Structure 1
């Protein structure tokens, strides 16, 4: 990891996640009654909990509205949830107002064009392996894991490693 990237990670106090294409594999599954099914990965969930243990606030900004996302956010203790927000940068600016935090204290992970402005606006802008290539050219970092398969966990652990907190969190499980 470069020195410049480490310096960005050390300042992070807020980690923001897109949902579809980051915390899920991006596929939209609908049942016959029109209800939606989302699959979340437990690896990502524990990563988010590790961020909270380290004192890093968490947020979700997603373009779609889904009761499944609300349930998942509640189960993980996500601090802020913004659903139905196509303009991710505007939502991110509202989040900064709500938290009192700033761009240089924020990490964001997204996968597609609606996430691009937010990725470019933060200290540590990340994308997922398999996300849109144009987004990857503007991100600070890209996961090796794919969306819905631990990419969120990798993002969390990269932040924690950059802050020198990951090993201590791991040791609690020994």
Structure 2
């Protein structure tokens, strides 16, 4: 994990809400359809444990995704995601609604997305992140970029970066020894 600079660490210390895009962050971004038209999504278990570690540390989690699918709803339920906003292509409007619905604010929020529809939300959050392989314009404007790619542990890296910035990661690791 890359070292965080002082400004990033200060921002991460205040995070109480972590928000994830799905396609291109928690999945590899490919859209797979079966012959009957149903969609298949592949999620990485590394990301799932990262999200559970956030919850264990008292950080609430949310998904804001432009597409709607029962797979995302099932995955969110299985991981204990606190807030789910599907079918929301205008991510910044959904993020503002999330803040209004929950009482969180920009200074308490980390957001990770990969493409142009995520950019306003990335820039609005205190800690705006993207994934390795995300759109170059998004990478240019994000606070931080994962070393792992979408669907291959980038979500876990985001979670662990938040926890490291809050000084909680090593204690969580120790629980597994």
C-alpha distance in structure 2 between counterparts of 1:110 and 1:49, whole Å? 19
**TM-score, structure 2 normalization:** 0.98
Offset from partner CA, 1:63-84 (integer Å, 9 cap, x none): 0000000000000000000000
2:150 to 136, 147, 150: 147
User: Residue 63 in 1 paired to residue 77 in 2?
Assistant: no
Question: Secondary structure at 1:81's aligned position in 2?
Answer: strand
Rounded Cα–Cα distance in structure 2 between residues aligned with 1:92 and 1:3: 26
Picking from 90, 93, 96, the partner of 1:93 is 96
**Greater than 6 Å deviation, 4+ residue runs:** none
Q: What residue is the counterpart of 1:170 in the other structure?
A: 173
Q: Give the TM-score, by structure 1 length.
A: 1.00
Name structure 2 gaps, 5 residues minimum: none
Matched, 1:36 2:24: no
SS at match of 1:9: helix
1:153-164 equivalences under 5 Å are 153-164=156-167
Task: Give unmatched runs, 5+ long, in structure 1.
Answer: none
Q: How many residues were matched structurally?
A: 174
Measure how far apart 1:99 and its partner are.
1.1
RMSD between aligned residues: 0.3
